[in-house]
Amino acid sequence: MNTLKPAKILTIVGARPQFIKAAMVSRALAAFRPTAGQRRFEEAIVHTGQHYDPAMSDVFFEEMDIPRPVVNLHVGSGGHSVTTGAMLEGIERELLSRKPDWVLVYGDTNSTLAGALAAAKLQIPIAHVEAGLRSFNRRMPEETNRVLVDRLSTLLFCPSENARANLAREGIVNGVHVVGDVMYDAVLHYRAKAIAPALDEPYILCTLHRAELTDDPVRLRGLIKMLDEAPHKVLMPLHPRTRKLADRENIVPGTNVCWLEPASYFAMLGYIEHAAFVVTDSGGVQKEAYYLGKRCVTARDETEWTELVACDANRVVGSDPAALRAAFDWAAQPLAENRDVYGKGDASERIAGILADM
């Protein structure tokens, strides 16, 4: 009989992509069966409340069967300093109370940074899922968060060899493991539950939400105008931040662009799977498009998921109307079958196994 005390994991989440990733890793932690010398896991989830709209938060816990958070800090929106500071205070309180063996953080949001900073100050080891990604654009707050969290982490779980190489160039080699992408695990696990849209004509799926776009009304207006000239109808689930700017600046879609309410994860999988192709500025949607066999046009100046560009699954066009127009014909072509760029769909189990050996 294994009489070792369980390893206590405190998981920090706050935004839609983190809920999806945590769904898979939490499942793997719960299902892990330790062998001699290994401990089972006892996980508690802290939700910072970074995404507080029910359509961007609650629905994911419900439909994906994610363990309910032990606490929601209800931080909400605001400036980077205000929100990160509030998260730090709340997370530190939970760390002092629960005394975990590990803090598990995902991706590159302010929730990720706050979780890592709070743990580092209390000398609690940090495990970073999606370590080593780099866009090399320090104007992006996400890039700053990635670099800082990787510096603080004890275990760095990389989705690809490129991510490992990025860390090595920065002198980070200890505790680095290439495990694959947990979002690939999620697509494989949940694909059968995807909800197909009730639409009998070809369409393009578009999502736009990043600050570099939603803080720039000229850029957003130009992209919306260009999308109205796309070869198919454009379905666009609208992020609350994008809607806020559109309302404030009186940006309205043309007849070819259909704005929708934020979609659940299963609905998003259905939108992507049945689309002609995808236009997005989301890192997660770039990968989901690839896993579901669709080309992706990225409305950013760069991407951290460089492997998708290298295998001709993704084209980065920024906000240039001519580049976007040229990408439409490219994106409509079939995507070659190759799903091993980010592992084989077992990243979550590999993460659990590595944590168990620590």
Spatial distance between the Cα atoms of 315 and 208, rounded to a whole number of angstroms: 16
Report which of 73, 100, 95, 96 is spatially closest to residue 85, judged by C-alpha positions. Answer: 73
What would the DSSP string read from start to end of 82-137? Answer: HHHHHHHHHHHHHHHHH--SEEEEETTSHHHHHHHHHHHHTT--EEEETTT-----
Residue entry with tokens 């939490």: 26
Q: Are 193 and 266 in contact (CB under 8 A)?
A: yes
Q: Are 214 and 246 in contact (CB under 8 A)?
A: no
Helix axes 16-31, 182-190, angle to 10 degrees: 80
Q: Which of 47, 51, 128, 209 is catalytic?
A: 209
Residue entry with tokens 């493991």: 177
Strands 155-158 and 71-72: unpaired
- Reported residue count of the chain is 358
Report which of 144, 189, 268 is spatially closest to residue 26, judged by C-alpha positions. Answer: 189
- Give Cβ neighbours of residue 231 (< 8 Å, ≥ 6 apart): 204, 276, 328, 332
Q: What are phi and psi of 236, to 5 degrees?
A: -135, 90
Strands 257-260 and 233-237: parallel
SS3 track for 144-160: HHHHHHHHHCCEEEECC
Spatial distance between the Cα atoms of 184 and 178, rounded to a whole number of angstroms: 14
- Give Cβ neighbours of residue 164 (< 8 Å, ≥ 6 apart): 132, 158, 176, 178
Using only C-alpha atoms, what is the Rg of the chain? 20
Residue 74 annotated to the active site: no
Catalytic residues: 209
